[in-house]
Amino acid sequence: MKWRVILECDQETGDWAVWCPELPGCVSCGETEEAALTNILEAIELYLEPSEIQLNSEAIVREVTV
């Protein structure tokens, strides 16, 4: 799956900030553009990784397609 990422260089430090606009809060950085891209790949993988949730016994789980 392909995701858009936005890279911006900090003019003061020379470090790179990177984020994925389709995944709110999925951000990373790196000292180089290449490092920032490597780091955002890991951030996206972690963002999309399913996590366990605790539900009470009466909860009903459904899936929807958008």
pLDDT tens for each residue of 33-56:
999 999 999 999 999 998 888 899
pLDDT for res 35:
98
One-letter amino acid for residue 39 of the chain: N
Q: Which of 48, 23, 49, 26 is nearest to 36 (CA)?
A: 26
pLDDT for res 48:
95
Tell me: the pLDDT tens digits for 12-25? 999 999 999 999 99
Give the number of other Cβ atoms within 10 Å of residue 8's Cβ. Answer: 12
The pLDDT of residue 59 is above 90: yes
- Say how far apart CA 66 and CA 58 lie, in whole Å: 25
User: For the chain, give me the number of helices (H) and strands (E)?
Assistant: 1, 3
- Say how far apart CA 43 and CA 24 lie, in whole Å: 12
pLDDT for res 50:
87
